[in-house]
Structure 1
């Protein structure tokens, strides 16, 4: 388990790289809400201090009320910064634990980018959004919300795409924030997998980040994604910590 300072650094970088449209604090709980996009990372309660255990039942109810107002099921994102007492309370109330996720980092300066293409990132957010939705097979109704999210990213971002026969087959988003570079939205269309596109686009994104001064790369991936874990381990990524979500058994919190 890393020190809490390391976890806090990565969590802060992650919040900047994947910004919610509304953030409210109850003590050290960051309540992130984004009406235009359903991502749990953008719509969750994020405890940021394991010592903050004051009035847990009342605060859970207050946070749940905010989610009800948005028409969303209340969700806590439980990283190592979340108090164990809170997790015990949520479990006792029937909040389901789901989507366990590994946070991984890698030393960019130790990577060998010989033979990696110097791909120029896209400038057109709309083009990237359309490519991402197609590659991931997501509904077109997410277009506006994803566009809003990308426009809201304040650190430098690189949007990468690989095409075949004029059609997008792989995408990657890299957000460069100081010495850190985060990978997001990595995907290859189902019919184009096992052709090396995933490795190629990740390598190009990481090379771009290193050339812009990043020293450490990081990412988040669900534990059930065995092919993705194998891909990133091949680049030298190792686990730093994990988080999971606790979802209310109903919309009433």
Structure 2
């Protein structure tokens, strides 16, 4: 059984702001307490308004301003709305015709220790070509802007597992980023040919061990509510749900 310890209490908005430091847009601008982020369209997190605290003016005015900011950059306006705590503004987005994506669960837990990896895991401060080829965002190869977004944070860890020599792909990759004493894990990807061989656990354990060596005590990750295999894995490692968020998308393309 994994070690289970209680992570320190932290408010939803505080944890969202911390997570935003570890996966950033290439352009960011505060709008009151909200954070506007643009990253050439790669990932919702890097291309959405983080709705925490209060925006200037009433919600309708704020939504109009946010929409204009994203359209000026050629992006479909998007907002990340954490819950609980933001029901009123979420209702305002809905009233303005913004559609709602599925829930994303924000999970927290101790940064290990987990069982040592059963395979060798390489850790680097930057992703090489093999790592970038191994990461599939929503099942698709990465766009040109991906590397810039992935590297736009401090204290980064890129984990990879290779089981077969090139030109075979990496078996698994994952990304970690440290902020304060939190390790935020993302981009966990296992190649279809290497599933059910423990490589996801291996990269998680390696990232946690390296994170602890750099002062990480707690761990956070984000996973869609429909990703049941990932939820089972993270639950077995001691993660529990802290809160949820969802994206709101403006009408149109």
How does the TM-score come out when normalised to structure 1? 0.86
CA distance, structure 1, for counterparts of residue 59 and residue 9 of structure 2:
21
CA distance, structure 1, for counterparts of residue 151 and residue 228 of structure 2:
31
- What corresponds to 2:42 in structure 1? 38
- What corresponds to 1:19 in structure 2? 24
Q: How many angstroms does 1:232 deviate by?
A: 0.3
Corresponding residue pairs, total: 244
Q: 1:87 to 1:127 in 2, by over 3 A?
A: same
CA distance, structure 2, for counterparts of residue 245 and residue 56 of structure 1:
16
Higher normalized helix content (fraction of residues): 1
- What corresponds to 1:83 in structure 2? 86
Q: 1:244 to 1:160 in 2, by over 3 A?
A: same
Q: How many angstroms does 1:124 deviate by?
A: 4.8
CA distance, structure 1, for counterparts of residue 121 and residue 239 of structure 2:
22
- What corresponds to 2:161 in structure 1? 162
Contact 2:118–2:198 at 8 Å: present in 1 too?
no
How does the TM-score come out when normalised to structure 2? 0.86
RMSD: 2.6
Q: Deviations for 1:50-105, whole angstroms, at most 9, x for unmatched residues?
A: x6583211221111111112222111110137632211122123221113101011
Gaps of 5+ in 2: 1-6
Contact 2:117–2:205 at 8 Å: present in 1 too?
no
Gaps of 5+ in 1: none
CA distance, structure 2, for counterparts of residue 43 and residue 198 of structure 1:
27
- What corresponds to 1:208 in structure 2? 210
- What corresponds to 1:145 in structure 2? 145
Partner of 1:104: helix, strand, or coil? Answer: strand
- What corresponds to 1:48 in structure 2? 52
CA distance, structure 2, for counterparts of residue 124 and residue 88 of structure 1:
40
Contact 1:122–1:128 at 8 Å: present in 2 too?
no
Partner of 1:173: helix, strand, or coil? Answer: strand
